[in-house]
Each structure stands twice: as C-alpha cells, then as structure tokens.
Amino acid sequence: MVAQVQVLRGRSALPLAAAAAAVLMVLILVPSYFDTYQVQLLIYGLIAAIAALGFNLLLGYTGLLSFGHSAYFGVGAYTVAFVAEHLGPHSMEFYLLVGIPVVAVTSALFGYICVRHTQIFFGILTLAISQVIYSLAMKLYWVTGGSDGLRVPRPALLFGALSFSSPRGFQQFITLYYYYVLAISVVCVLLMWVIVHSPFGKALQGIRDNEVRARFLGLRIRWFRWISFLVSGTFTGVAGILWVPLNGLTTPDVLYWTYSGEIVFTALLGGFRNFTGPIVGGIVFTYLKTYAVASTEYWQLLLGVVLVTLVLVLPTGIVGAISRAGQRLRQRRGAT
Amino acid sequence: MAILTIQILNSLLYASVLFLIAAGLSLIFGVMRIVNLAHGSLYAVGAYVTAWLVGRGIALGVPLGWLFLMLPVGALVVALIGIVIEPLLLRPFYTRAEEYQLLVTFGLLQILEDLMRLIWGGTPLSADTLMDVLPIIRIGGLYYPAYNLVVIGVGVVVAVMLWAAIYHTKFGVMLRATSQDRRMASALGLNVGLVYVVAFGIGCFMAGLGGAIVVPTQAAVLGMGVDALVIAFVVVVIGGLGSLKGALVGAVVVSFVRTAGIQFFPELELAVLYLIAAGVLLVRPTGLFGTA
C-alpha cells in the first residue's frame, strides 16, 4: 500500500490525465455505436459509479464502513418524486436544485449522529437510521405510495430546452440523458479528485490510518468525519436524483438495507483502496447484476458467490489487482 | 383485562423468538467479534427445514405427537450448517479488517436466501398442524392456542440453559476466556479453533431453534430472515452486543414496544424501534449491558 502511494506520487499527473481523456472519448462515442438498451445500461452504470464514489470517501478515505447509504440514495430519489408530484416544473435542473440541498441536510443530520461511533457500531447505527427512512417510506403510504412507490415522468433537460413527449421520445431521452449523466459524472469525479487530494482529504486519510496521531496533531476528528459523511451522503444522493427519471419509478427497495449492501459490494468489487475502484465497480456491477438477473432466476446466489470469492481471493478489487499486476510487470522490466 | 393478558402473552411469544435469534447473534459476536449478517437467514433456514420435515412427516403418516421432534431436528440442521461454514468461510477472516467479515457474511446471506428459494420455491411453507395438535385454552373468555405457551416456555428454558452453560460449566469458562483474550487463551493451551466452531454452532442452533418454533405459528416465507436480522440488530443494540442479559432485556423491550406499536401507532411502529436503537447507541454506545 505504502509503496503504491509512493509510485503514484512519483509519476506526474500527465499520463493519468491522458488515460482519463481516452476513457472519456470512448464513453462519448458509445451512443453512436450501441443500441438504446446498452446506452441505458451504461447510464445505470455511471449512476452506480457516482453512488459508490461517494460511499468510498467514507470507506476508503475515512475508514468508516456505512451500511446505510441506501438512505441517501433513496432520499434523493424520493425527493425528486415528491417534487415531480407536488411542485411545478418537470425539469432535471429543478430536481437537482431542490434535491441536492435536501440530501445534504439529511446526510448532515444523520452524519452528526453516526460519526460519534466508529467500526462496527458505526455500521449498525447507519443501518438502523437508514431503516427508519425505509419503514417510513413503507408505512406512510398516502405520501409515499407504500410498496408501490411513486412514478416520475420524464423530465425536460437543460432548463426545458429539450423535452421528450413525442412518440420517439424514449430513444432521444436516453441518448441525451446519457450525455447529461456523463457530464455530471465527470464533474463528480473531478470534484472528488480535488477533495481527496486536498489538505482536507489528506487529513481524512491521516485519521483513517492513525486516529491517535491525528488527534495529537490537533485535528478535530469528529468534525472531519462529519464533513466526510456529509459529502459522501450528498454524492450518493445525487446518484439517487439522477436515477429516478431513468427508472421512472421509485420504490422502498432502494431504501432497504440490502441495497446499502449492494453499494458496499460495488465499491469492493472495483477496489476501495483506489480512487478509480468504485467507478469501475459501479459500471461492472451494473452489467454483472443485469446479466445475472437475465440469465438466471437465482441471480442473488450468483452475486453472493461472486462476493464471497472476491473477498477471499481478490480483496483489493478489480482495480487493485490490475494495478498490482502492472506494478509487478514494471518491476520485472526494471530487473532485466 | 383478558385482552391485556393476551397482548402480554403475544409480546412474550415474540420476545421468546427474538431472544433466540438475538442471543445467537450476540454470542457469536461476543466470542468471535464477528457480526454475522447471515444470522437472520439461518433463522429462516431453521423455519423452512422444520416446516418441510413436518410436511414430510404428515405425508408419511407419522403420529402427530412425534412431529414435535422435528423442531430440535430443524435447529440441529442449522447448527450443522454453521459448523461447516465457520472453518470454511469465516476462519480466513479473523486476522483481517472487519469490513471483510461483514462482506463475507453479506455474501453468505445472499447465497442462503436464494438457496431457500431454489429448494423450497416462492410459496410459503406452513406447519400449522403442530399448532392444531395442542388444545386451545380459554383465558378470561378469550381463546388462546396452547402452542404459544410452549414457545414462551422454550425461550425461558433455553435462556436458563445458556446462562448455566456459560457461567457454570468448564466450557463456559473456556468460552469467556477466549472471548476476553483470544491469544492469551490460546497460549494457555485452549483449542481456540474448537471453541470458535462450537460457539458458532451454538449460535446457529439458537437461530435455527427460533425459526423452528416460530414456523407452526406463522408460515416460512422468503425474506423472513432479512427482516428478522434487522430486528435482532435492534435487540442487541439496545441490550449490548455480546451480552446475554442484554439480548434478553432487549428482546423483551422490543417485543413489548412492537406489540404496543401495532396497537396504537401502526404506521410508526418500526420507525420507533429503530429510533430507540439509535437513541440507545447515542447515550450508551455499548448498549444497556454491553462491555465491548
């Protein structure tokens, strides 16, 4: 781990930026070569990536395992549904404008309670609080539709400049929404990159690695954890906000604690010790789950086996394994 | 008055089952420092196995009284599953970060949930014949199935036996020693691996027994385990993870709050439970009786 960090620091950011630009180019070209279904799937993947990216600020950089991130995803989703039903304009920007503050306030509130604990108690507390939201969504059916959930119509994009009510609206919506989500994903990734490489991000990693020493240095540990929780929950909430118009429906399923488990799974699949891990994990998990669901009725069994195997043999996730293999290759080349 | 008595009995019935689940969870955490997310699913396996065995027994014409033997058999099957799981899946994780332990048990949960669907399908599996074998008694003008009293009795007996086993037997001393300091216990010559297997087996047995005794009163359905786990979490959080007394008190508190909740504020019943759990964690992080 330490060696890896030094290697990263030793290289300049230029090849990294070049690689990111290449990936972005490929992603931009996707809708012109693949059909609507594949594009739709990739949107789900990008959204899962944003959710996991936010989650990983807590797990990977702050060292806190939340088992309740479904709450922030779900609060984002339900806020959009309420806005669509009760407030005026069906506009994506309006959804984001209302949704982000709501999610931020929710995560600030829950975070304030949860960061008093660490380790297993933190996990259980986040789980318990997320289940409060779940049971409210389930039981207050006259507001939330109970287990039926709430429908959300297709919103207009870019301040109403693009609307999709024509018969061919669906294809258009998917293509344009893809670019919309891609743009927001890029913003999220850049923002998170800045956060984890800022002094604030370094402080979080310091707290993660050695809490006592961080306290000796005069860091207000609980405050740092709280802000980290707030940012983390908000990112996951943004994913929820983006997810609803695509899904067209929000149900209490996204609030249930097993959904939090899927977010954890996603981050681990990609590798939570790497910045890019959760992004890769989000996209791979979406494809994995979609094809598992399509190919067998017992997809959960398949995912469970994958998860157990992953934890047993590949604990650093996909990105961790690749970077380790790359490192080994480089070393061998250096030796000869 | 009779209604009150029945509500209290119903609470105790629920408390008995909850205690069995939560005490197993707590025991496993206390000894092995693992929060077993698959614990609820093991409870569901107990319910399914028992219901299936009872169904087979009826089909084969076994005398109805003998079918009660299927309850401990169902629990033993779950204990066997636990004895296989511990060395195979959990042992590699004791030295690693606890995130991985949570994840591996989460994976196990997914596997068990779908295995139950694969084996028993989506239709609920019922064993209410056992409930009909026992008479229905009158409590102040109202009718109440005697089987429910059996469930309460099983809970009490198991609680006493577990307490006696942990505090008044040699194995109990070994268990507590391992729980307090694993390396020291090992250095003093205790077979820690064996203690872990047995502790995990007992924990699973209790979860399985909870499922076995509950299945005559309500059919085994998919998802019952996942729901039960979250309630069991509330119990151990209130009582304190790793504490037997805590599991008992937590189970009683939760079941009475829930029975009252269903009566008076059905919409908020679950939310209130989680809020109590969150409140206890804030005031006393280790629960009412926890020491960890």
Residue A277 CA neighbour count, 13 Å, CB half: 31
Q: What is the pLDDT of residue A167?
A: 63
Q: Are B177 and B43 in contact (CB under 8 A)?
A: no
Number of neighbouring beta carbons within 10 Å of residue A82: 18
Whether A62 and chain B come into contact, CB under 8 Å, resolves to: no
Q: What is the pLDDT of residue A6?
A: 44
Of B168, B289, B217, B172, the C-alpha closest to B54 is B217
CA dist A181 and A97 (Å) reads 15
Q: A135 vs B252, which has greater pLDDT?
A: B252
Q: Are B27 and B199 in contact (CB under 8 A)?
A: yes
| Chain B residues with CB-CB distance to A301 below 8 A | 110-111, 114-115, 118
Query: Residue B99 and residue A120: Cβ atoms within 8 Å?
Result: no
Six-digit token pair at B264?
């008076």
| Chain A residues with CB-CB distance to B230 below 8 A | 127, 131, 257
Is the pLDDT at B207 greater than 90, yes or no?
A: yes
Q: Which of B110, B233, B282 sits opposite A304 (nearest CB)?
A: B110
Phi first, then psi, for residue A329 (nearest 5°) are -65, -45
Whether A268 and chain B come into contact, CB under 8 Å, resolves to: yes
Closest residue in chain A to residue B88, using alpha carbons only:
A312
Q: Which of A113, A139, A306 sits opposite B270 (nearest CB)?
A: A139
Task: Identify how many contiguous H helices and E strands chain A contains and give both numbers.
Answer: 15, 2
Mean pLDDT along residues B128-142: 78
Helix (H/G/I), strand (E/B), else coil: B139: strand
Best probe of the A interface among B34, B110, B234, by most A CBs < 10 A, is B110
Closest residue in chain A to residue B100, using alpha carbons only:
A311
Q: Which of A123, A304, A308 sits opposite B102 (nearest CB)?
A: A123
Query: Residue B103 and residue A300: Cβ atoms within 8 Å?
Result: no
Whether B34 and chain A come into contact, CB under 8 Å, resolves to: no
Query: Residue A135 and residue B270: Cβ atoms within 8 Å?
Result: yes
Query: Residue A315 and residue B92: Cβ atoms within 8 Å?
Result: no
Closest residue in chain A to residue B270, using alpha carbons only:
A135
- Name the residue type at position A313: V
In the block, residue with structure tokens 């606890």: B98
Query: Residue B233 and residue A127: Cβ atoms within 8 Å?
Result: yes
CA dist B250 and B284 (Å) reads 14
| Chain B residues with CB-CB distance to A129 below 8 A | 274, 278
ipTM summary value:
0.77
Residue B193 CA neighbour count, 13 Å, CB half: 5
Is the pLDDT at B285 greater than 80, yes or no?
A: no
Whether A135 and chain B come into contact, CB under 8 Å, resolves to: yes
- pLDDT 10s digit of each residue in chain A, 336 long? 444 444 444 455 777 788 888 888 887 777 778 787 888 888 999 999 999 999 989 888 888 888 889 999 999 999 988 888 887 777 888 888 888 999 999 999 888 888 877 777 788 788 878 888 888 888 777 777 777 778 877 777 776 666 666 666 777 778 888 888 888 999 999 899 889 888 888 888 888 888 888 888 888 888 888 999 999 999 999 999 999 888 888 888 888 888 888 888 888 888 887 888 888 888 888 888 888 888 877 888 888 888 888 888 877 778 888 888 888 888 877 765
